[in-house]
Structure formats: C-alpha cells, structure tokens
Amino acid sequence: MSIRDAKTSEWSWEDFRPEWANEGIERVNAELEKWTDELQSRSDKLRKQSQKRIEKGIAQIQTELKKLPGVQRAQALREDLEARVQTNLDAGIDRVYTRLNLARLEEVKKLEKKIAALNKKLRALEETPTA
C-alpha cells in the first residue's frame, strides 16, 4: 500500500465536516434535484410544442405544394399510370384465365347465384302436387 492510499483510506472530508455543513449540502442537493425536475419538465413541454409546430409547418407546406401546377400534373400522371397498370393487369389476368379455361371468381359467384335460384324453383315445383 502506498503512502497516498494509506492517507485516503484513513480519513475523508465527511469525517471532519460539521453537521451544519451536512445540512447545507443536503439542502443544496434537494434544491438541485427540484431544479433538475423542473428543467426536465420544461424540456419535455418545449419538445412537445416544437413537435406540434413542426407538424403544423409540414402540413402547411404539403398544402402549398399540392397547389403547385407541377405537383398537380405529377399527381394526375400518377393516377393515370395507376389506372393503366390496373387495366393492363386485369387484361393479363383475363388472358391467363382464358388460356387455362378457368372461370374468374365473379363469374363463379354469378353462377352460384343462378344455381341457387334454379334449385329454389326446382324445390317449389317438386312440392306442388301434380294433377
């Protein structure tokens, strides 16, 4: 053990600090904790307010951008492209179903309704007495 280690392990400031100093330090620590809590609370509040302002600003910018002719044209082109893609996709699916001789779901549902109606009529005919 070195001389320095021996000195630090033998005594500390807390051993010689008067009681009134301990009370003062405790009061300062308590006050620092209050200030820290208050600062944290204010920081959270400011962060929320900033977030709201940013979101509001973004919404305003988006609204203004939608008014620009270039953005409106791009939106119209996007919608046209989506419609074309959907039409081509539907046509491609129809070709596949036709080549495979498969009925589409809508056609099957229509046929099921017709079959159900025919079954109902058939039951009604079977139940009527024949002369």
d(CA 37, CA 42): 9
Q: Which pTM value belongs to this model? A: 0.42
Containing structural domain, residue 35:
19-66
Residue 57 in domain: yes
Residue 72 in domain: no
Q: How many domains is the chain partitioned into structurally?
A: 1
The continuous run of DSSP H or E covering 79 comes out as helix 69-99
d(CA 56, CA 59): 5
Token output for 90: 């539907």
d(CA 103, CA 94): 9
Model pLDDT for residues 61-115, shown as the tens digit of each residue = 999 999 999 999 999 999 999 999 999 999 998 898 888 888 888 888 999 999 9
d(CA 72, CA 67): 7
pLDDT at 5: 52
Residue 38 in domain: yes
Residue 2 in domain: no
Residue 49 in domain: yes
